[in-house]
Structure 1
Amino acid sequence: MQLDATDLKILDYLQTDGRISNQELADKVFLSPSSCLRRVRMLEEAGVIHHYCAVIDTEKVGLEVDAFVQVTMRRDVEQWHENFSQALQQWPEVTGSYIITGDANYLLRVRARNLKHYSSFVLERLYKTAGVLDIRSNIVLQTLKDTQQIDTALLEE
């Protein structure tokens, strides 16, 4: 899909405030409300806008531990990737999972109430998953930047 400058402005505003009214968005991007709504729907239907969500302050809801975990798998276990992928879908502690390059197979972002909860997750679920060979945890001490927003300047040529 080819995005023009107006589409990029719409995306910028929606990333900042997904609850902005169509009228306010239309005013900001200099479109009629019907044209603006048509463009937003086109962006949604094309999958450019995947979904809308609220961003939760994890500390305020009691999730004290944020960790990045590298998981290395044993390749001699049959269907290790499929089994691991299926298992991690059942773990609410895992808020992000990625197949990566390097020594490990996966990088997980794990959120937990406290260190005891995190430890229980690692020992009782992660290590007990068939095929897991090694786990390397990195506990976040301080977050400097954490966003899902895409700077639309990256999309311009």
Structure 2
Amino acid sequence: MELDAINLRILACLQENGRISNQDLADKVALSPSACLRRLKALEASGIILGYQARLDTERLGVEIEAFVQVSMREDEDGWHDRFVAEVGQWPEVCAIYVVTGESNYILRVQAASLKNYTDFIVNRLHRTRGVKDIRSNMILQKLKEVPSGLLGRRPARR
């Protein structure tokens, strides 16, 4: 599917407000409502738009700790990657799992209600996971910028 300037503007508007009405979206991107809806349905059908979700205030939900956790694995056993991802992917504290380059194999984005809960997660679950060789945590002290991803810096001009 072609991502022309109008499609990019549609995507940018949806990232700012996923609940925008089709009429308001059409006005923002200078299309008729029917043309806008056709483009939106095409973006959904092509798989560029994977879905819609609410952004939550984790602090108000009781999340006090958020961290990026680097995990290095022993790679001497068959199936170590699939086994690790299957196990860790089931844990509710793990919000995201990334395969990365560098000294570690993975970076996990982890949330916990308290330092005690985070410590329990690291010591009693992650550290005891088969094949884990090294764990390094980077605690998030303050979020300075957090935007939805996906447009690869291709922000369209506003009309």
The answer to whether the aligner puts 1:90 opposite 2:102 as a matched pair is no
Counterpart of 1:140?
Answer: 140
Q: CA 1:152–1:103 in 2, change beyond 3 Å: closer, same or farther? A: closer
Counterpart of 1:50?
Answer: 50
Counterpart of 1:116?
Answer: 116
* Amino acid aligned to 2:18: G
Determine if contact 1:69/1:137 at 8 Å carries over to the other structure: yes
Q: How far does the alpha carbon of each residue in 1:96-139 deviate from its partner, in whole angstroms, 9 at most, with x for none?
A: 11011111000011000010010111112111111001100111
Q: CA 1:10–1:80 in 2, change beyond 3 Å: closer, same or farther? A: same
RMSD of aligned residue pairs (Cα, Å): 1.5
State the shift of 1:54 in Å: 0.4
Total equivalences in the alignment: 156
Unmatched tracts of structure 1, length 5 or more:
none
Higher relative CO (CA 8 A, sep ≥ 6), structure 1 or 2?
A: 2
Q: Please list, as runs of the form range in 1=range in 2, the aligned pairs for 1:1-157 lying within 5 A after superposition.
A: 1-151=1-151, 154=154
Determine if contact 2:12/2:155 at 8 Å carries over to the other structure: no
SS at match of 2:47: coil
SS at match of 1:44: helix
Distance in 1, Cα, partners of 2:23 & 2:152: 22
State the shift of 1:152 in Å: 6.6
Unmatched tracts of structure 2, length 5 or more:
none
Distance in 2, Cα, partners of 1:86 & 1:153: 32
Determine if contact 2:72/2:135 at 8 Å carries over to the other structure: yes
Distance in 2, Cα, partners of 1:89 & 1:21: 34
Distance in 2, Cα, partners of 1:152 & 1:85: 26
Q: How far does the alpha carbon of each residue in 1:42-84 deviate from its partner, in whole angstroms, 9 at most, with x for none?
A: 0011111111110001111110001010000001123110100
Distance in 2, Cα, partners of 1:49 & 1:71: 30
Percent identity over the alignment is: 53
State the shift of 1:33 in Å: 1.1
